[in-house]
């Protein structure tokens, strides 16, 4: 059938792998959120946030409902959070967060992806994480950051920054421990939907990489994105 068919088949396979990994990530996170409280998004802020997050990434309704149903059914499945630190091409610091029911599989898959694309897993805890700061991030529709700032301060929320981004979108940065409190305050003051409600790592310094290392790093990040146990990946490059 020729080279064109092989390329097309490889592209379809890669797309399916990414979709499968995406659905696995969503399912495990939603399951954990549903198990953390009442398995109903109306009464469980963490679950509502997880659902909104993955809907924004086009995760299907069936995947979401199946994860919640599993939590309601008292599944004995157990997930553990993990964190791996690595250095990629050009000395870029990378932090990889996982959520898995099999730590051995998660580590093996992460290590293979990193090593195959020119990186190395660090055996010194904190060596890569040192280059990042934990921050709580909320993003939602709005046009008045000053009013949002006042509301949060009056509610004793430890606010780091409130700014208007893009068109009619407000970003709130808070201390990680304040994330759910800030989300609750915003919900009680008219914010019906959050485009983002999560804790992230923000680089405190960045590394300049040349074009060759930048492409290698993109390939590494793509490979990690296809690992089903990987929930989030952070790096401090300038790409």
Q: Report d(CA 26, CA 140) in Å as an integer.
A: 20
Torsion sign (Cα): 39, 40, 46, 50: positive
**Per-residue pLDDT reduced to its tens digit, 137-148:** 999 999 999 999
Q: Check pLDDT > 90 for residue 79.
A: no
Those residues whose C-beta lies under 8 Å from the C-beta of residue 106, and which sit 6 or more positions away, are 82, 98, 100, 227, 229, 230
Tokens 């950051």, residue located = 145
Beta bridge partners, 65, equal none
Phi and psi, residue 114, nearest 5°: -65, -50
Distances (CA, A) of 181 to 160, 162, 200, 205: 14, 15, 16, 29
Q: Check pLDDT > 90 for residue 113.
A: yes
Q: Check pLDDT > 60 for residue 11.
A: no
Q: Which helix (H) or strand (E) holds 98?
A: strand 93-100
**Per-residue pLDDT reduced to its tens digit, 41-66:** 888 888 888 888 888 888 899 999 98
The tokens for 63 are 């995947």
Q: Is the Cβ–Cβ distance between 117 and 88 less than 8 Å? A: yes
**Per-residue pLDDT reduced to its tens digit, 169-201:** 999 999 999 998 999 999 999 888 888 888 899
Q: Check pLDDT > 70 for residue 13.
A: no
């Amino acid at each position: 059938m020729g080279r064109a068919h092989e390329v097309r088949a490889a592209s379809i396979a890669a797309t399916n792998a990414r979709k499968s990994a995406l659905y696995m990530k969503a399912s495990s996170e939603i399951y954990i959120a549903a198990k953390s409280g009442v398995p109903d998004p109306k009464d469980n802020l963490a679950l509502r946030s997880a659902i909104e997050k993955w809907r924004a990434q086009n995760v299907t309704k069936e995947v979401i409902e199946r994860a919640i149903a599993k939590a309601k059914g008292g599944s004995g499945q157990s997930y553990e959070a993990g964190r791996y630190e690595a250095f990629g091409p050009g000395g870029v610091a990378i932090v990889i967060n996982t959520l898995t029911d099999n730590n051995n599989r998660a580590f093996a898959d992460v290590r293979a992806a990193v090593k195959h694309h020119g990186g190395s897993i660090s055996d010194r805890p904190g060596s890569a994480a040192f280059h990042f700061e934990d921050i709580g991030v909320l993003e939602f529709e709005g046009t008045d950051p000053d009013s949002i700032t006042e509301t949060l301060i009056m509610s004793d929320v430890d606010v780091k920054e409130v700014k208007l981004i893009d068109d009619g979108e407000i970003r709130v940065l808070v201390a990680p421990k304040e994330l759910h409190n800030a989300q609750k305050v915003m919900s009680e003051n008219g914010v019906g939907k959050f485009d983002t409600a999560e804790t992230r790592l923000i680089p405190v310094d960045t590394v300049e990489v040349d074009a060759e290392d930048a492409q290698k790093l993109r390939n590494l990040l793509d490979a990690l994105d296809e690992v089903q146990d990987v929930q989030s990946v952070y790096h401090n490059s300038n790409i």
